[in-house]
Amino acid sequence: MSTWQLLKKNRLAILGLVFLLFFFLFAIFGLIVTSGKNPIFNPYTIRLQEKLKPPFSKANKEVLSPDQIPPFGIYIFGTDDLGRDVFSRMLQGAWVSLTVGFVSVGISTAIGIIIGGIAGYYGKEHPFVDILITGMIDIMLCFPSFFLVLTVMAFVPGSIYTIMAVIGLTNWMGTARFVRAEFLSLREQDFILAAKALGLSEFRIIFRHMLPNAMAPVLVSATLGIASAILIEAGLSFLGFGVPPPYATWGGILSDGRRYLFDAPWLTFIPGIAILFVVLSFNLFGEGLRDALNPRLRE
């Protein structure tokens, strides 16, 4: 059976995929309508006379200037303590979360493939290389990833680029272990031995024959890693070490709302539920993808 046929049988994985597609569209829509000099949804507009308005409340056009009135004249997700439209800030935060998740996982996946590939391909002929790399992986795994990222962020200036780089540089260990294990198994296969006998270069053997056959666990690890990166970014923003203002992030909105938990609970519930569903969707889809790529189920 094909991967897609197996994936379709997993209803939770399909549900996660559907929600992820909605999240991607929401993030892309947010990038379009919150960018530019005069954005349609402006996440930076301050309306002190309209602060802490509940969701779906109408804007008071009598006290607002024309550029302060939200689209449709309604605060879809209410306003925060500065009168900023929470829906506009959620739109911008979605794109920030999506960017951080994919870029940081791209960095960690690239590092993991390189390091794991070196350990798996050259480890048998050069045991010292394998021992050195696996020892480095074990040492890195001794530190909880979130606290490692938090420690690094305490000493470097906060920016979205710094966060992506730090998360990517501290979360490559899982991918490296997967690639190493796959390479150790593949290098003894007949088609690899035949490629060596034909005199093919090591570069071609690794990238043309071994790496494509080792990508299944890497894809699963990357899918789950995106959820982890989004959660780490939200945690950093909640603690004040994330993307600095004026950019809106879901963790930042959640942090601002904790002071008004009883007066304006939507400031906590809306970003919290959004983070929950996005992370859960990535995990459900990742688990389903792992089962679909399992060779034992393809018979």
Reported as a single tens digit per residue, the pLDDT across 82-131 is 889 999 999 999 998 889 889 999 999 999 999 988 888 887 777 888 88
Give just the sign of the alpha carbon dihedral 56, 248, 153, 179.
positive
The residues facing 30 across adjacent strands are: none
- Report which of 276, 141, 121 is spatially closest to residue 189, judged by C-alpha positions: 121
Say what the pTM is: 0.85
Task: Tell me the C-alpha distance between 250 and 264, whole Å.
Answer: 16
pLDDT at 294: 65
For 219-262, write each residue's pLDDT tens digit.
888 888 888 888 888 888 888 887 777 778 898 888 888 888 88
- Report which of 159, 139, 135, 157 is spatially closest to residue 148, judged by C-alpha positions: 139
Task: Tell me the C-alpha distance between 146 and 167, whole Å.
Answer: 9
At 149 the three-state DSSP class reads helix
Calculate Rg over the CA atoms of the chain: 23
In CATH, the number for domain 3-42+86-297 is 1.10.3720.10
Task: Tell me the C-alpha distance between 186 and 193, whole Å.
Answer: 10
pLDDT at 23: 92
Which tokens belong to 223?
Answer: 């899918």
Q: Which long-range contacts (CB under 8 A, 24 or more apart) does 271-276 make?
A: 271/90, 271/93, 271/234, 274/90, 274/94, 274/250, 275/230, 275/231, 275/234, 275/250, 275/251
**Reported confidence tier of residue 162, pLDDT bands at 50, 70, 90:** confident
pLDDT at 18: 93
Task: Tell me the C-alpha distance between 58 and 103, whole Å.
Answer: 38
